Chain A
C-alpha cells in the first residue's frame, strides 16, 4: 500500500513535468535577464555582444512624490534628476551650466534674465515655453502649495514672461545663492496646474527618461526619451529598485540583481566590495557634513571653554578611519572641500584629552570627590549625546563618543530616537549635544545662515554672535564670489574657534557598480542625471 502511494506521487510528478515541458520559459521582451540568468555569460560560454537594454539601480527609500517642486527625499530627487531639467544644471564643481536656459545675465543685482533653449518638448509632446518656467516658480512660492524648499527661493519677488524664450526674475534684495538653486525641474503648466495630485505620481518633464510605472515601495520604471535635446540616453530602460536595508542592497549588487548602488551605504559593505575585483567603487566628496551641535542655552555648554574641551575629545581621524572605513573624511569647518569657499587652513581642535582636562579645569570642572566624574559647585558634569536611529554610523559615533567622554570624566548619556522625535527635540532646544548632518550644501549660505544667524528659527543651539550676523548678511548681498568666499571663511573661522559647531566628518558619496557598467560619472550632489550616458555590457 505504501508503495502504491509512492507510485501515485511519482506519476503525478511525471504528469506535472510533462505538462511543464509544453510550456515556454523565456523572459518577456520588456524585462532583461535578472539574477541567475546572468551567470551564463560568466561561465565560459561565448558572451553575447552588445549591451543590456535595462539599467537597474538600487535605492534606499521610495519617493514621496515625483513633482520636483515637492521633492524632499533622495529618491524623489533621483527621479526628478532624470525626468526633469532645470534652468541650469550644476557641474561637478558646483558651477551653474546651461540646461533649459541657454544663457543668463544680471542687468542689476536684483534682476536675472534667462534666455531659454528653443525646440524643447515635454514627454507628452507639448512645447516647453517661458510660461512653464513662470508657472513652476509661482506655484513653488505659493504658501498653500507647501513646497518644502520654498524658503530657499523666498527672496524672489516676481517671475515675468518677457517673450516665449525669455524669463525675468526680480528679487527683493540681492541674493547670490539663488543661481545654485535654479536646477529645480521645470514642470509643464498645462498638466501640473490642472491636477497636481495626478501629476505628482505621473510626472512629465523634458529630461532624458520618461517615468513609465511606479510600483510603490518596490520599483520605479523609466524609458528613454528619444527626443531628448541633449541626445537620447544610451540605455533604453532604467529601473530604480527600492531596497531599504543598506546591506541587502549591496547583496543585490553582488547577486547581479542590480547594476549600481549609491550612498547611503554602510562602510563595511564598501570595504567588502572594494576587495572584490568584479566591482568598481567610486568615491567623491559630497555636499554634506556630519557635525556636533552644541546647545548654548544649556548652562554647562554656554561656557566656550567647556565646548572647546569637549571638542578636544573628538578623535575625528579615528572615527573616519574605523567607524566610517574612510568613506567620510575627518571634518574641520562648516565649509566643505568641493565648495569654492573652502579654506583648508581653517581647522578645528585636535584630539587631545590632556588639553581637554586642562580646559575643563580652567572652566572650574574638577573631580573633587574622586568618583571619576568631573564636578563643579557640587554638580556633576552630566551631558546627553543624541542622534537619530536612521543612520547606524551616527549611532556608532555617538556610542564611541560617549565612551571617550566618560573616560575624560564626563557623565555622558546617549539618547537615540527616530528622526521626527529627534528633530522636534532639536527645534525645542531639548538636547545637549547632538550629532546630525547637512546635505546639498551647494552654497555656503545654505546651512550657515539658518544655523548661526542669531534670529534664525533654525538656529538649534541658539548660537549668538553679532559679528557673525553681520557677516552672514554681507555674504547674501554680494554677487562677487571672491568676496563672498572671504566672508564665509571668516564666519567659518569664528564658529569653529568658538565651537558653535564641531564638524566631525565631511560626507563622501560612494557609487559601486559591476565592472561591465561603463559611462557612470559621479556628482557631488549625488545626482543620477549622468545615468543617461551609462551602458551595461552583456
Chain B
C-alpha cells in the first residue's frame, strides 16, 4: 500500500507540470498582454514596449517558462500584476470559498441522491422510480448557468428567500461564532448565501449519483445474501440499510470522488452567476486581464487538487475494496 501510494504521488508530478506547461503556452498564444492592459487606453506603443521589457515579457518563451517552473519548485508562485498581492495569498483567499461551495454542493447532492436512489431501486418501476429517474436525466441535461439564473429570479428576487449574490462570513468561522457565542446570526446568513450556489452546483452531481446508487442497489438487491437476510425475517428497512446499501457504497464512493473533482471545475460557472468569490472567478478575471502569474499559479493549484482528489478516491476505493490493493 505504501509503495503504491508513493508511486501514485510521483505520478502526479509530471501530470501537474504537464498541464502547467500546456496552459502556459495557451496563455501566451492569446493576443494582448498585461503591459497593455495595465497601461490602459491612453498608453502609446513605446510606453507599452518599455513596460513589457520591465516585466520580462520580451524574454523568449522558454526562458519565461523555465523561470516560472523554477519558482514553483522553490514554492514561489509569483506576484499578481494587477492586484498588488502575491499569487499565493490570492489563492489562499479564494480557495476556501470554492472548497466550501464544493463541499456543501456535494453534501446537498448526497442528501438528495442517496434516499432517491435507494427508493427508486427498492420500488423499481414504480412512479417514484420514474419521477426520480426523470429528474436525474433532467439534472444532467440542464445548463448549470441557466438553472442558477432561474433560481435567482425565482427564489431571491421574487420571493426574497435568499440573497442573490455573494458570500457571508466563511462557514467555518460562522460555525465557530455560533458555538462560542451562541449567536447563530452569522451562521444563518452564511448558509442562506451558500444555499443557492451550492444547490446549482450540486444538481448535476445529484443526478449522476442518484443513477449510480439506483443501479448498484438494483444489482446488490438481487444478490443471494440480501435474499437470505430477507428470508431470515430481517425487516425490509434493515436489509436495505445494513446489507444492501453498504455494499453498494463502493461504486458510489468512486463517483462521488470523481464528481468532487468536477465540482472544482464546474464552480467557475456557478461562481460567475452568483458572484461567489472563489478560485474560478479569480482565474476568469485573471485570464481576461492577462494576469499571467495568477492564471499560472491558480492552474497549478487546481491541477494539483484535481490530481490529489483522484488519488484520494483511489485510496478510499482500495480501503473499501481490498481486492484492489494487489494492483
Q: Which residues of A contact B (CB under 8 A)?
A: 1-2, 5, 20, 22-28, 34-36, 39, 62, 64-65, 67, 70, 72, 143-144, 146, 148-149, 151-152, 197, 200-201, 215-219, 241-245, 248-249, 251-252, 254-257, 390, 417-425, 427, 438, 450, 456-458
Question: Could you name 19 residue pairs across A and B whose Cβ atoms are closer than 8 Å?
Answer: A1-B238, A2-B237, A144-B54, A146-B51, A146-B54, A148-B43, A216-B83, A216-B94, A216-B277, A218-B166, A218-B277, A241-B166, A243-B165, A248-B152, A257-B163, A421-B30, A427-B36, A450-B44, A456-B44
Query: What's the A-B contact tally at a CB cutoff of 8 Å?
Result: 171
Let me know if A28 and B163 touch, CB within 8 A: no
Provide the bound-state CA to CA distance between A458 and B182, in Å: 61
Let me know if A26 and B185 touch, CB within 8 A: yes
Q: Tell me the minimal C-beta distance from A5 to chain B in angstroms.
A: 6
Provide the bound-state CA to CA distance between A35 and B94, in Å: 24
Partner of A252, one of B164, B167, B277: B164
Stretch at the interface among B61-69, B134-142, B153-161: B153-161
Partner of B84, one of A20, A201, A420, A456: A201
Given A62-B83, A424-B31, 12 further pairs, Cβ under 8 A: A25-B185, A217-B282, A241-B165, A248-B152, A248-B274, A251-B165, A255-B164, A257-B164, A419-B32, A420-B37, A420-B289, A425-B31
Q: Tell me the minimal C-beta distance from A51 to chain B in angstroms.
A: 21
Find the A residue at minimum CB distance from B148.
A248
Let me know if B41 and A423 touch, CB within 8 A: yes
Partner of A458, one of B42, B51, B156: B42
Partner of A148, one of B40, B46, B165: B40
Let me know if A251 and B152 touch, CB within 8 A: yes
Let me know if B166 and A243 touch, CB within 8 A: yes
Let me know if A72 and B38 touch, CB within 8 A: yes
Determine if B85 is an interface residue (Cβ-Cβ < 8 Å): yes
Determine if B186 is an interface residue (Cβ-Cβ < 8 Å): yes
Determine if B214 is an interface residue (Cβ-Cβ < 8 Å): no
Let me know if A64 and B82 touch, CB within 8 A: yes
Q: Tell me the minimal C-beta distance from A14 to chain B in angstroms.
A: 18
Determine if B211 is an interface residue (Cβ-Cβ < 8 Å): no
Q: How many chain-B residues does the 8 Å CB contact rule pick out?
A: 62
Let me know if A24 and B182 touch, CB within 8 A: yes
Provide the bound-state CA to CA distance between A466 and B43, in Å: 23
Interface of B is mostly: helix
Across-interface contacts of A425 in B (CB, < 8 A): 31
* A23 in contact with B183 given A215-B277, A248-B275, A252-B164 (CB within 8 Å): yes
Q: Tell me the minimal C-beta distance from B104 to chain A in angstroms.
A: 17
Let me know if B84 and A65 touch, CB within 8 A: yes
Determine if B33 is an interface residue (Cβ-Cβ < 8 Å): yes
Determine if B47 is an interface residue (Cβ-Cβ < 8 Å): yes
Let me know if A244 and B184 touch, CB within 8 A: no
Partner of B157, one of A5, A144, A255, A427: A255
Let me know if B43 and A458 touch, CB within 8 A: yes
* A420 in contact with B44 given A65-B84, A248-B275 (CB within 8 Å): no
Across-interface contacts of A62 in B (CB, < 8 A): 83, 285
* A149 in contact with B164 given A23-B182, A143-B50 (CB within 8 Å): no
* A243 in contact with B275 given A255-B156, A255-B157 (CB within 8 Å): yes
Q: Which residues of B contact A (CB under 8 A)?
A: 30-33, 36-48, 50-51, 54, 82-85, 90, 93-94, 152-153, 156-157, 160-161, 163-167, 178, 182-186, 188-189, 192, 235-238, 272-275, 277, 281-282, 285, 288-290
Provide the bound-state CA to CA distance between A62 and B14, in Å: 35
Find the A residue at minimum CB distance from B161.
A36
Provide the bound-state CA to CA distance between A40 and B238, in Å: 48
Q: Tell me the minimal C-beta distance from A263 to chain B in angstroms.
A: 18
Across-interface contacts of B178 in A (CB, < 8 A): 23
Let me know if A25 and B43 touch, CB within 8 A: no
Residue from A34, A419, A420, A423 having most chain B Cβ neighbours under 10 A? A420
* A245 in contact with B42 given A200-B84, A420-B37 (CB within 8 Å): no
Q: Tell me the minimal C-beta distance from A476 to chain B in angstroms.
A: 15
Across-interface contacts of A255 in B (CB, < 8 A): 156-157, 160, 163-164
